[in-house]
A and B are shown apart, each in its own frame.
Chain A
């Protein structure tokens, strides 16, 4: 099954690369428009390729329970008990990496999912390019941004430009029941990735 998925993604990659063959300066208006088209296309493919049922198995029930019930005696308990199911995580992360490779420049395809029983959102998988317009490093859960809520409600992709230089396309992730269970943030930046302290 995994091989079939890879083959399909490979075909998408070949088709996409052919479209993106002409380099455009990303700092120009035309460049931004071109990049927006490319990110939109990756987002569209992401919605097809990411298995929402698998995503729903990434964060463990135990981790979720700790996330939902804070311990007044220990502010770190949710983080210390954060855990994932390895197989679901690895499968999804590899798909996100492949999707990011559709662009000839650094892109992160980050997976976000609602925190059950709350109005919060959680980053579930981040990739190596240090790119997101939404994540506050270290936060296990965050208040749901309206634009993410809209994507989760309507299933319509959204293009977001909040942080200077950064462009994100948000697109839904569905499970086998057709439910929207999460979203991807397909994000790139015309500026160098920020230097990190951690």
Chain B
């Protein structure tokens, strides 16, 4: 009898059903675990550890959840496997020590192959007292998936004992459009950061190193594209220095200046511009929608000739050749941005191209617009745009430069004071984006959806995160700034010579998928009603609060404002929006599926 009772206890322990020794649980995407068996502080409201999860999804997109294995005891031979009728991508979650608050947060996602063998605690992550290992699961719902209910299960073997959790996915008929309703952009500058983050991959020299660099750059485009975003990489510095990888090779001077080789340019950008770089993605091949040109005050024309006939000759010669080359290659689905990033404080040039504060600098943009027009045939099918990133004087620029600029990237927050200009810009055919930063890992998970949502609510075309590739010097040991300058990490530490995603990137992607569907529903005629319900579900606000500031911009001349004045003037606007709850986007998603899930 005693022997039988002992066997029964062993059986219970092995099954995990008693729950104290070890447990495989499932969490929603919005409730991030910590390495000690809990939930990170900001995501705790509404969190529950379950053994089954029911999800809903449209076709042509991803649906996500988390698996967490908790154990009081070490495990040297754990194995995770998943049975699913739909393709799954599984990642182990890396717990980062966040320097600002000294807590651990999962963010980097390291791809794993199933079945995946692992240990508890994770010897690589090296966290004292670790009792939980977490996995992010992306389930891909292909566009041709038959609508219906699909079941799957995850199984964990801890030695001889096994545990399992189940997931159910209701696949709706709607197909997420190939082209997103908004562009959520990841911005970057130069290539120095690649050399810092990939010392092994870029250790070579010559052509081999160049090929590796190009492969890496294309991989960055790919990871953002696959996660419903775009990627920008500026190819020149504030002083006009161009990276030779980003430009066609030039020769000659004055009227003789011309392109002598497109070799590097075509090898790097060709696959991005014809879409072939994305052939092996789940979303399929598509040309990049936007790209910075390397044009700056020092390229292609030599600044030495600024104000002289030679400047125009060199500029128009080379830009005309660019147009011709792009047209020949049929690169007609990308907006090629002539964008001036330099600021006079960096001592290269006498005018601000970026965030112009001095109205006396406007004439330069007008001059470059005129030079561009002189370089292009009137009927060119290639889309060249003059992009201006605007903040201090955005409203005045939108008036004074309305015939020169056709892509505006306006400071988020401040844009609310210029939102009434949007109809005129739209009528003009302009592209309008906002820009800003990235939420920290210590913020509530759903806050990453705030900017994409605001973009859609305001009716602008995109949002760019001004720096989205810089995780700091040793991100796997400690995140120095909460990850506010990155949404991806270098995979080199894990033997992957490519970027790896983050939880925040996945959450952002899933929100964009829903916005795509909401836009489909909004186009059926009930746009304002849909938007009003979405913001009410997200953070219990009213639609009018999003597009109107209760307070005006600072008083007086813009030249007399400072950053604190602007911050103070925006406080009443910002104060209208409470911090969203972790399940805020779950409510939006459920609403999306209810109203747009049936659309075909």
Q: CB within 8 Å of B: which residues of A?
A: 71, 73-74, 76-77, 79-84, 86, 89-90, 93-94, 97-98, 123-130, 135, 137-138, 140, 193-198
Contact = CB atoms under 8 A, between A and B. Distances in A.
Interface string B444-469: 00000000000000000000000000
Q: Give the bracket for the number of chain B residues in contact with chain A.
A: 35 or more
B237 A82 contact: no
A128 B564 contact: no
Contact of B193 (A71, A126, A197): A197
B555 interface: no
Interface stretch (B60-68, B298-306, B430-438): B298-306
A100 B347 CA distance: 17
Interface of B: 189-195, 237-241, 243, 298, 302-304, 306-307, 343-351, 357-358, 360, 392, 470, 559, 562-564
A126 B189 contact: no
Main secondary structure of the interface of A (DSSP, over half): loop
List 10 A-B pairs, minimum CB-CB distance, nearest first: A74-B562, A195-B192, A89-B350, A82-B345, A73-B564, A197-B192, A128-B240, A196-B237, A196-B190, A79-B345
B556 to A, nearest CB: 14
A93 B345 contact: no
Contacts of A77: 562-563
A130 B237 contact: yes
B345 A126 contact: no
Contacts of A140: 345
B303 A93 contact: yes
A84 B350 contact: yes
Contacts of A81: 357, 559
Contacts of B347: 123-126, 135
9 contacts: A80-B345, A84-B350, A86-B360, A90-B306, A90-B307, A94-B303, A128-B298, A195-B191, A196-B191
A130 B351 contact: no
A98 B304 contact: yes
A93 B192 CA distance: 26
Contacts of A124: 347
Nearest to B194: A195
Contacts of B358: 83
A8 to B, nearest CB: 16
Contacts of A83: 344, 358
B344 A130 contact: no
A175 B345 CA distance: 24
A101 to B, nearest CB: 8
Nearest to A195: B192
B318 to A, nearest CB: 16
A123 B238 CA distance: 14
B190 A198 contact: yes
B192 A80 contact: no
A62 to B, nearest CB: 9
Nearest to A192: B244
Given A71-B562, A84-B344, A128-B303, 13 more contacts: A73-B564, A76-B563, A82-B344, A86-B350, A93-B303, A124-B347, A126-B346, A127-B239, A194-B192, A196-B241, A198-B189, A198-B238, A198-B346
Contacts of B392: 80
A125 B564 CA distance: 29
A166 B368 CA distance: 35
B344 A128 contact: no
Contacts of B237: 130, 196, 198
Contacts of B195: 195
Contact of B190 (A76, A82, A197): A197
Contacts of A97: 302-304
A140 B345 CA distance: 7
Contacts of B470: 197
Contact of A137 (B191, B194, B346): B346
A128 B345 contact: no
B267 to A, nearest CB: 18
B207 to A, nearest CB: 15
